[in-house]
Amino acid sequence: MGPVPWTTLSNGVKMPLLGLGTSLARGHELENALRIALDNGYRLIDTAEFYKNEEFIGNVIEEYVEKGKIKRSEVFIMTKLPVYGQREPKRFIEESLKKLKMDYIDLYLIHNPMGFMKTEGEDSIKI
């Protein structure tokens, strides 16, 4: 596969047009898949706090940066605020940054933005 094309967003930020989603992947399976993706030109990595895999992604990105295979600025990292984190977005951003071993996230989304109200009783939704 050749280099993945990038686009420029209206605010001037450059973003790859093809990325790797990591929803159900963890551990060595994810690390190996991410290495293969990076070696084949993928530069957008989609993760989320809810996926419980940010640390694995951080390990591989750190490894590739330290080996000089990529620069952090060449990878577009997208992660998400969990639906249960709406009252503490700063805490979740800080936790994601720590797990990813990064000092910035390229795109931070609200994951599955639904409104929940904490209620008591048999009809309440447990989060």
Positions annotated as catalytic residues are 51
- Residues 39, 41, 45, CA angle at the centre, nearest 5°? 95
- Residue 125 Rama label (left phi>0; alpha psi -120 to 50; beta): beta
Question: Distance between CA 74 and CA 96 in Å, rounded?
Answer: 19
Q: How many CA atoms lie within 13 A of 112 on its CB side?
A: 9
